[in-house]
Amino acid sequence: MSCVPEMTGMVTTTQVFLIAQGMSQALESALKVRQDTDAAMEDLRTECGLGDAANMKQCLRVLLQRLSASPQVSSMAIRNEHGVSAYLLLLILPPPPPPPPSLPPI
C-alpha cells in the first residue's frame, strides 16, 4: 500500500495544510514588499518636504525644480533608455583644489 494519495478528486488535510502554508508565506512576502514600498515613499516625501498625501509625481516635480534652480546644473534632459525614462543631468563641478606644495628633497 502506497503512502501517496491517489488522484481521486479528494484532498487530504495534509495537502490543505501545505497549500495554506504556501499561501501564508506568499502573503507574508507581499506584506513585506508593501511595507518596504510604503517606507521608501515616506522617505521620499520627507526628502521632498511634502505631506503624507503627496505622490511620486509630485515629489519628482519638486526634486527637478530644485535641480533646475541649482547653479551647478547646466542642462537636464529626459531620455528613454531600455524602455525606462531616465533623467540626465550635466553638472558643472568646481575645479579640484591645487595639490599641496612639495617639500624639497633632504
Tens digits of residue pLDDT in 81-97: 888 877 777 777 777 88
* pLDDT for 7: 56
Q: What share of the chain is helix, strand, coil (3-state, %, to 5)?
A: 45, 15, 35
Distance of alpha carbon 41 from the chain centroid: 9
Mean pLDDT, residues 72-88 taken together: 80
- Does position 62 have pLDDT exceeding 70, yes or no? yes
Quick check: pTM over 0.85?
A: no
Query: Rounded distance, CA 77 to CA 70, Å?
Result: 15
The secondary element (H helix, E strand) that includes residue 68 is helix 56-69
Higher pLDDT, 101 or 105: 101
Query: Rounded distance, CA 34 to CA 42, Å?
Result: 12
**CA 10, 18, 12 angle in degrees (round to 5)?**
20
Q: How confident is the model at residue 6 (pLDDT cuts 50, 70, 90)?
A: low
Q: Are 28 and 21 in contact (CB under 8 A)?
A: no
